[in-house]
Amino acid sequence: MSISDGLITAEESDDICKWISHLVGDSATDTGIATFGNVGVMEGALEDVSSLIFEDRMFVLTGRFTLGPRKVVEGLIADRGGRHKKTVCRKTNYLVFSTEASRDWRHSHEGLKIMRALELREEGKGPDLVSESLLAQAFGI
């Protein structure tokens, strides 16, 4: 037992933290994305809905959306004059990430989209990050 001797070593502390995360969940451990409640929080994401422009802008979506299937979200973007693409590149204007942090973000193509967007942003050529909740606000939902 980790505390049977009344002292907790660094190794025991790490073990306890891992078990707590395993038992109650820790989205930052699971996904690399911090959350507030169940909502993914991405540092540097747009916060003002008025800064979101659809006309002739390229959107890439990542994650599982509560707004509906990805095709529905893509349709809502297209209805407002936006376009969508499956991969992040220098021409991507917005990377929209789903409201719920996904366990797949670190190890699947969704994770790679976020990583690529952040790389491009560091070079000064990356897309703006948009939360699903901000996108929903722009849709009036």
pLDDT digits (tens, 9 = 90+) for 59-115: 999 888 888 899 999 999 999 999 999 999 999 999 998 866 555 555 444 478 888
d(CA 109, CA 104): 8
Position 128 confidence tier, pLDDT thresholds 50, 70, 90: very high
Q: What is the pLDDT of residue 100?
A: 65
By residue range, what is the domain housing residue 130?
A: 41-139
Q: What is the pLDDT of residue 113?
A: 87
d(CA 70, CA 64): 8
d(CA 140, CA 130): 15
Considering the domain architecture, whether residues 24 and 53 belong to the same structural domain is answered as: no
77 and 59 Cβ atoms separated by less than 8 Å: yes
Q: What is the pLDDT of residue 11?
A: 83
Considering the domain architecture, whether residues 63 and 127 belong to the same structural domain is answered as: yes
67 domain residue, yes or no: yes
* CATH number of the domain to which 45 belongs: 3.40.50.10190
pTM for the whole structure: 0.68
Any idea how long the chain is? 141
- Summarize pLDDT for 12-39 with one digit per residue, the tens: 877 776 666 555 555 444 444 444 444 4
What is the pairing mode between strands 34-36 and 39-41? Answer: antiparallel
DSSP-assigned letter for residue 126: P
Considering the domain architecture, whether residues 88 and 133 belong to the same structural domain is answered as: yes
42 vs 123 pLDDT, higher one:
123
Considering the domain architecture, whether residues 92 and 129 belong to the same structural domain is answered as: yes
Radius of gyration of the chain (CA): 18
SS3 of residue 62 by DSSP = strand
Domain count within the chain: 2
36 domain residue, yes or no: no
Considering the domain architecture, whether residues 64 and 95 belong to the same structural domain is answered as: yes
Q: What is the pLDDT of residue 21?
A: 56
129 and 43 Cβ atoms separated by less than 8 Å: no
d(CA 14, CA 60): 37
Considering the domain architecture, whether residues 87 and 134 belong to the same structural domain is answered as: yes
Considering the domain architecture, whether residues 53 and 122 belong to the same structural domain is answered as: yes
Considering the domain architecture, whether residues 55 and 74 belong to the same structural domain is answered as: yes
